[in-house]
Every structure is written in C-alpha cells, then in structure tokens.
Amino acid sequence: MASDISGLTYFTFKFGLFLVAFLVVVAFLLYKFQNKILYIPVIQGLPKSQDQNQLGMQNPSQIGLDYEDINILTDDNVKLHGWIAKRPNPKNVPTVIYFHENAGNIGTRIVYMKEYNNQANCNVVLIAYRGYSNSEGEPTEDGLMIDAQAILMHVFSRTDIDTKKIYLHGRSLGGAVAIYSASLKLPVNFTLAGIIVENTFTSISDMVDVIFSKLKFLKGLVLRNYWPSIERIPKIKQPMLFIKSELDELVPPAHMQRLYQAATSVRFKKLHIIPDGDHNNSWTRDQNAYFNAIQNFFQGCDAY
C-alpha cells in the first residue's frame, strides 16, 4: 500500500514538472513570436505585395479609380506606401484616412476604396502599415503607432485637400490605430473632424480571453501587445461614429458596445448597427445604408 502511494506521488511529481516545463515553453513561444501571431501581412492564396495580385487588385486604376501613390518616411526611417483617391473637387469634400484591417495586402481593399470615394463623396487615403504590402519594416504595436503619426502628419501637410475636414476610419485592428491616433495631442492647427470605428476590439487583453480563453491565465506574463482602446477612447473629444456588425464572427459585438458607452467626452456620437453584418464585409450588405450613415455623420460634424 505504501509503495502504491509512493509510486503515485512520484508520478504526480513528474507530471507536475512536465506541466510546468510545458507551460514555460508555451509562454516563451507566445512572448517571442507574439507579433507574428498577431499581425498577418500575408494570408493564404495572396502575396505580400499587391503588385503580385491578379489584375484588378494591383492598383486602383485597374478598376477605374483615379489615384496617386503616397510614399511616407516615418520618424524611425521606415518607408510606407499607399494611395490617395481624390474627388474631382478635392478641397470641397472631406478626406478619410482609412486604417485598414489586419490580414492581407491593400490591393484587397481597392473595391472598398472606390465605393467609399464615390458613394461617400470624399477623398480616401489608404496607407499600408509597416510590414504590410509594399511598406518596409516589421509590424509591432509601437511601430504601427509611429506609422499612424507619420500618416497624420502627411495628410495634414497636404495643400490639395481641406485639412479642416480630415476624418479617421478604422476597421478591426485599424479601429485600434484610429482610436490611438485620435487620442494623441496633435499640433493646434491639426484638428480631426471626426472618427469612425468599425468592428474593433476593446483591447488585445480582452481578445485573448475570447480567442485563447484556456491560456488567458498566462497573459499577464507574456502579453506585449495591448492596444488599450477602452482606456484611450474616453480621451477623445471629436465626434464619433460606431459601426457595429451584429454577426461579427471575430470580434464580439459587445466590444463595440462597450467602446460606444466609454466614449464619454465626445461632442456627439452615433451608432450604426448592421444586423446581418460580419467582420469584414458588412459594408456590402446594404451599401446605400452604410455610406449614407457615413455621409450623415459628415454632415452632422459640419453642423455641430
């Protein structure tokens, strides 16, 4: 009997050591490769660079959209690339800086860019984050924040648009970038007209609870990407439009609701709900309703 107990104790001890070692390895890998897990410049079936996409997804002119290339050098000497699509009267319409989603190259957003430009009657700026598409570097949270600042400085310095009508629009990861950008203390003459966030998360920590729920007890040790939008959003004073898809399969819609409720300092806010919308393509469900909501938001900001 004693030997049986001794054997069980030894087995339990060995198993405990194995479990601890396993968790240490998992924690190390999650910490070391976290950026590669979180940021996804390349998705299956598509190249990193939009130049290697199929025709129609390489640049906006291939689907009849007039555009200009934009090349920006960040404060840490990373070259970013993207596009601006302007209206025929670019100084008389709003300009939207679209902070894109996580996965894939910017060529996958060309159709959206064209419809945004046409249906919302605005100039659209789309710049790839570092490590995405034709932009240099490797994506990190600090790096994307530097990118956002460089993009803002570039757009506000342009003389071919009305810099008093610059809006931010971010979807998913881009929503976190937009909220960060709007919470910055910008130069006095750099005033954002409004911010649009769509299907974005409250924080990376909260998303770990959703996607890696069984490993959430490790996040205090390994997490080095935060994007704490729920903490930043109360600092924003500009008008905000929240676009929430009720059937979002990636970010729980409750995250958007929490962000909406946390926007307590904004001059005014609106919530546009898409009942049958998913994470990325909700704008295709009812394009008229989607872009009308954005245009109405522009008009509300003008009138406020």
Name the 3-class secondary structure at 297.
helix
Beta-strand (E) ranges in 91-236? Answer: 95-99, 123-127, 166-171, 194-198
Pairing of the two strands 194-198 and 240-245: parallel
Tens place of pLDDT per residue across the chain (304 aa)? 545 556 556 556 565 665 555 555 555 555 565 888 899 999 988 999 999 999 999 999 999 999 999 999 999 999 999 999 999 999 999 999 999 999 999 999 999 999 999 999 999 999 999 999 999 999 999 999 999 999 999 999 999 999 999 999 999 999 999 999 999 988 878 999 999 999 999 999 999 999 877 777 778 777 889 999 999 999 999 999 999 999 999 999 999 999 999 999 999 999 999 999 999 999 999 999 999 999 999 999 988 7
Pair of tokens at residue 283: 């704008």
In the chain, how long is the greatest CA-to-CA distance?
A: 90
C-beta of residue 256 within 8 angstroms of C-beta of residue 286 = no
Instruction: Give this prediction's pTM.
Output: 0.91
Q: 237: buried, middle or exposed (CB in 10 Å: 19+, 13-18, 0-12)?
A: middle
Between CA 299 and CA 262 the distance in angstroms is 23
Comparing CA positions, the residue from 119, 259, 107 lying closest to residue 197 is: 259
Please tell me the class of the 33-303 domain. Answer: alpha beta
Active-site amino acid positions: 172, 248, 279
Backbone angles phi, psi at 175, to 5 degrees: -65, -40
